[in-house]
Amino acid sequence: MRLSFVKSAKKEAFLYCAAVMGMFLLPFTIHGQKPSEYVNPFIGTSNYGATFPGPVVPWGMVSVVPYNVTPHEGNEYSNTDGWCSNPYVYNNELMTGFSHVNLSGVGCPDLGSILLMPTTGDLEVDFNRYGTAISNQEASPGYYSAFLDRYSIKAEATTTTRTGISRYTFPEGKANILLNLGHGLTNESGAFVKMVSDTEIEGYKLMGTFCYNPEAVIPVYFVVEFSKPAIKRGYWKKQPQLPGTRHQWSSTSGQFKIYDNYSRELAGEQIGAWYSFETEKGETIEAKVGVSYVSIENARKNLNAEQPAFDFEQTMAQAKERWNHQLSKIEVEGGSEEDKVKFYTALYHLLIHPNILQDVNGEYPAMESAEILKTDGHNRHTVFSLWDTYRNVHPLLTLVYPEQQTDMLNSMVDMYKESGWLPKWELYSRETNVMEGDPALVVLADSYLRGLTGFDVETAYEGMMKSAMSGGDENPLRPHNDFFKKNHFIAFRDSFDNTVSEALEFYVADYSLSRLALALGKKKDHEMLYERSLGYKKYFDPEYDLMRPLEADGTFMPNFDPMQGEMFEPVHGFHEGNSWQYSFAVPHDIRGLMRLMGGADRFVHQLERTFNDGLFDMSNEPDMGYPWFFNYVKGEEWRTQRTVRDCVNRYFHTGPDGLPGNDDTGTMSAWLLYSMMGFYPVSPADPVYTLSSPVFDRVTIHLDEDYFPGEKIVIESVNNSEDNIYIRKMELGGKPLRKFMISHDELIEKGYLKFYLDDQPDR
């Protein structure tokens, strides 16, 4: 239930409401057993979290999201803002439809379209005029509902993998359902629509240009079916203004033109279809939407296969069941109700992307191509935000959802086969070229080394080496590779370039590939790449104990300001952060970095300063491993325990603004999940975890025995309480454990990790 005073509340009131919202928003009881009942889909829907409250199934292609970022007086954020990447913002008031394709937790606008809007009364097709305030919002996994105040319509929605269904309960009188193809979050435009019958519409809409990359264009196909035949129906289009005097001669030039006597194909920019009905009081009309990224025909196949009938209740029950099945892979006991809500909501957000791409018949659009291919055995996944997710999403999926992670690995290798290059930020088979680095190498190596070998590693290795070694102009992932290969760094080029960030990513990627090379017996590659991965040392300026941009001759860039770059301001050499947020970002060689700094004391001092001086940024990826790095210094592990727990409590809570920033397709959530369970994959492609105190009394991770030699991992906390965040002693498999690093294999084989907690650090 959305509190009615939130709408006009000041920030403080809003935050207060947000803080207590968990208790009101959800239909679960505190004695409920099912994990889905702990999920609050409103978490992250404010404060740039960019998650959405609408229903989706695990890794589902389709979600149904109330779209409320149309510019309007009551809307605090709107799609006129360059950054606005949310189809829904909790703080906003006015809703203009339910979008059927959406991205969760990303930082650029895309999708957020194929909008269905129920209205009543006379037909109004201008989205600037048909919006409504909503109330009584409810959201849980696989279900969303709201009351549309202006129209007195109750709207509910649920989904299957490739389809959505909405149920609208109308008052008596004239009812309309609008399908708007001209509005939405995506920056790409242009659509096609055809009324097939008085109960069916088909069409497609162009989406894409993610992060303003004009090449990343994606057509999305759909079929809409209504449970009741329309008594009138037609299209609309906002007519372009006709030139010269024609504008005066035409009654529709520059206007929303209603087509009520035309029912063949329509195409254009600002277009849509309207279906009108007469309804009795309380009458429901359901609208099913099938989606495909291949063709209209496939959208219809998806709809027929996944929702052969109109059965909202059963569809919703199945969606909930699927969530409970996946969320139950991790069981937590103890901790507060709020902890459980934070945890299961994070797990929920983890399981949205990379989502299924192929249709029920296996067809999917090939990477960077117009070809349509067919899957062979594994699911094809899409939406790989790899600069984010290599850090913790894929390691966590590897451990808990190895089948899906294996499918993702296969998807990535197939992308290489199809396009000649591994993905970086793949969105529905288009490389969007967002962020830098070569993160596919980390994911592939890390997963392989953690035991997921069910993919074509030879081909993967070929693709990884191609991206690591190709020079000239041909390498889209590493555009300055000739210089890098020779000098092991990237020279500062221009004001505000990202050269240091870029190089740091390549070191991590090269290190990962060097580990895989070693595992595959390719010793020379291993040595060459490992040496390259230590190139970071060139950037280290002992004057500051920080990374500093380098000129082409290897000297430091003059006029270095280590504080430049706070609050996403432009900065020389770094991307979305400053030198402080990148200087420890060599997870593969923290001990080497420590030596550069002059030893452990200096390292701890510098790392502590990051936190004490407010230089740490929880909302972005480069420094998200920092809290765990104290574990590299014996005797200082309590600092990790304190810092991790502080971050868990400070940056994450159960309100709509309960994420510190973009969820980054689950990366923030994965950080939270690990941190609440007490371990973290601190160094990519090193199959190790470093440890901290869990939030829960007991965590049980159910393993997939097809992939791992163990049934489950149990993590137990003795004397767990809110204050007892420090580890007094540890046991692994019943035997004392004294190190704070354990291997992935050890954890699985022993399967039982026990912490004894205290309110004081053991120093």
Return the number of the residue (370 or 567) whose C-beta is nearest its own copies: 370
| Cβ-Cβ contacts under 8 Å for 10 (sequence gap 6 or more) | none
Contacting its own copies (CB under 8 A), which of 76, 81, 333, 705?
A: 81
432 binds its own copies (CB under 8 A): no
Local structure of 751: helix, strand or coil: coil
Candidates 117-125, 160-168, 186-194, 317-325; binding stretch for its own copies (CB under 8 A): 186-194
Which one-letter DSSP state was computed for residue 758? Answer: E
CA distances to 160, 289, 385, 527 from 60, rounded to whole Å, are 7, 13, 16, 41
Q: 395 and 688 in contact (C-beta within 8 Å)?
A: no
When computed from its CA atoms, the radius of gyration of the chain, rounded to whole angstroms, is: 26
191 binds its own copies (CB under 8 A): yes
How many residues contact its own copies, by CB under 8 A?
52
Return the number of the residue (253 or 361) whose C-beta is nearest its own copies: 253
Of the chain, the end-to-end C-alpha distance in Å amounts to 47
How many angstroms separate the CA atoms of 592 and 594, rounded? 5
Candidates 363-371, 538-546, 649-657, 686-694; binding stretch for its own copies (CB under 8 A): 363-371
| Nearest distance from C-beta of residue 189 to its own copies, angstroms | 6
| Nearest distance from C-beta of residue 417 to its own copies, angstroms | 18
711 binds its own copies (CB under 8 A): no
Are β-strands 232-238 and 546-547 bridged in parallel, bridged antiparallel, or unpaired?
unpaired
Residue 560 structure tokens = 């270095």
74 binds its own copies (CB under 8 A): no
Q: 691 and 630 in contact (C-beta within 8 Å)?
A: no
Return the number of the residue (54 or 208) whose C-beta is nearest its own copies: 208
Return the number of the residue (97 or 395) whose C-beta is nearest its own copies: 97
CA nearest to 101, candidates 158, 163, 41 = 163
Local structure of 265: helix, strand or coil: coil
Candidates 74-82, 446-454, 527-535, 586-594; binding stretch for its own copies (CB under 8 A): 74-82
Return the number of the residue (365 or 437) whose C-beta is nearest its own copies: 365
The pattern of x and - marking residues 244 through 263 that bind its own copies according to CB under 8 A reads: xxx-xxxxxx---x-x-xxx
Contacting its own copies (CB under 8 A), which of 107, 141, 365, 587?
A: 365
Residue 136 structure tokens = 């009584």
Q: 276 and 231 in contact (C-beta within 8 Å)?
A: yes
540 binds its own copies (CB under 8 A): no
Phi/psi for 702 (5° steps) reads -85, 120
CA nearest to 371, candidates 432, 426, 294, 430 = 294
Return the number of the residue (391 or 430) whose C-beta is nearest its own copies: 430
Scan for tokens 């309480």, then name that residue.
721
266 binds its own copies (CB under 8 A): yes
| Nearest distance from C-beta of residue 506 to its own copies, angstroms | 25
380 binds its own copies (CB under 8 A): no
Local structure of 728: helix, strand or coil: strand
129 binds its own copies (CB under 8 A): no
Q: 725 and 645 in contact (C-beta within 8 Å)?
A: yes
Contacting its own copies (CB under 8 A), which of 240, 282, 542, 570?
A: 240
In the window 646-665, what residues touch its own copies (CB under 8 A)? none
Q: 512 and 684 in contact (C-beta within 8 Å)?
A: yes
The pattern of x and - marking residues 138 through 167 that bind its own copies according to CB under 8 A reads: ------------------------------
Would you tell me which residues interact with its own copies (CB under 8 A)? 71, 78-82, 109, 187, 189-192, 195, 204-206, 209, 212, 214-215, 217, 219, 237, 239-240, 242-246, 248-253, 257, 259, 261-271, 365, 368, 370
